[in-house]
């Protein structure tokens, strides 16, 4: 059997299982989406948001890219963020990285990877910023793991710097921001950073919306 056919057969089996439990499942699912969470995760195939959180369809609005980045020039990410925050009005935005991330590992080398160098530069800047802290750690694994964590932290802070998040904080007093790292060796998620609405301030990146709102 061709590999892709297995996915289609699995889909049919999954749909049948859902209907066996609730014959109105897909009618209800198709009406609307009201997720509480926006998940910004890594594109790695081993870190599916719904699977590792045991969530159901409709619970999580998902955006994934290489190394779970929040880049201020990424219109794809920003479009997802704006829709999730302003239209769906999610209450939480989660950046979830994972240990053993290929993108983070690549950024720690001096190898030329071609086009992806442009993307990896964002991680390299986190690496350079925290170089002394990272290399004070005793092993390569410790250093690698720490950069994964610091990268997640940086991306959460990048969320806080956006006008999308700051306007929502001003208007709705949400979403809450979270930075997580998934450990695929144990299957558990580690909390790295949490930012409550209006808790974060910056003399450079905080915007004044009083006149606009």
Is 98 in contact with 182 (CB distance < 8 Å)?
yes
How would DSSP label each residue in 29-90? HHH----SEEEEEE--TT--HHHHHTPPTTSEEEEEETT----TT-HHHHHHHHIIIIIS--
Residue 198, pLDDT score: 83
Kindly report the average pLDDT of the chain as a whole number: 96
Residue 166, pLDDT score: 97
Residue 75, pLDDT score: 98
- Mean pLDDT, residues 162-187 taken together: 97
Quick: pLDDT tens for 66-78. Answer: 999 999 999 999 9
Residue 150, pLDDT score: 98
Asked if pLDDT for residue 138 goes beyond 60, the answer is yes
Residue 73, pLDDT score: 96
Residue 210, pLDDT score: 75
Residue 211, pLDDT score: 59
Quick: pLDDT tens for 77-130. Answer: 999 999 999 999 999 999 999 999 999 999 999 999 999 999 999 999 999 999
Using the structure block, give the residue that is written with the tokens 């144990």.
Answer: 186
22: CB partners within 8 A, 6+ apart: 28
Active site (catalytic) residues: 42, 44, 46, 98, 101
- How far apart, in Å, do the first and last CA atoms of the chain sit? 58
Asked if pLDDT for residue 154 goes beyond 80, the answer is yes
Asked if pLDDT for residue 212 goes beyond 60, the answer is no
Q: Which two tokens stand for residue 9?
A: 């057969």
7 pLDDT band, cuts 50/70/90, is very high
């Amino acid at each position: 059997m061709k590999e892709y056919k297995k996915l289609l057969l699995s889909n049919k089996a999954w749909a049948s299982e859902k209907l066996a439990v609730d014959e109105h499942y897909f009618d209800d699912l198709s009406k609307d989406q009201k997720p509480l969470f926006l998940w910004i995760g890594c594109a790695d195939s081993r870190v599916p948001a719904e699977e590792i959180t045991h969530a159901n369809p409709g619970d999580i609005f998902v955006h994934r890219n290489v190394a779970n980045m929040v880049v201020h020039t990424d219109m794809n990410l920003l479009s997802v963020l704006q829709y999730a925050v302003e239209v769906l009005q999610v209450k939480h935005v989660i950046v979830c990285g994972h240990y053993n991330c290929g993108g983070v590992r690549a950024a720690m080398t001096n190898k030329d990877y071609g086009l992806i160098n442009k993307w990896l530069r964002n991680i390299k800047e986190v690496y350079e910023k925290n170089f002394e802290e990272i290399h004070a750690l005793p092993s390569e694994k410790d250093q690698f793991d720490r950069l994964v964590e610091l990268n997640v932290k940086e991306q959460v802070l990048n969320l806080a710097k956006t006008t999308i998040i700051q306007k929502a904080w001003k208007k709705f007093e949400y979403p809450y921001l979270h930075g997580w790292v998934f450990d695929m060796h144990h299957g558990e998620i580690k909390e790295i950073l949490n930012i409550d609405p209006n808790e974060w301030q910056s003399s450079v990146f905080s915007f004044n919306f009083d006149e606009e709102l």
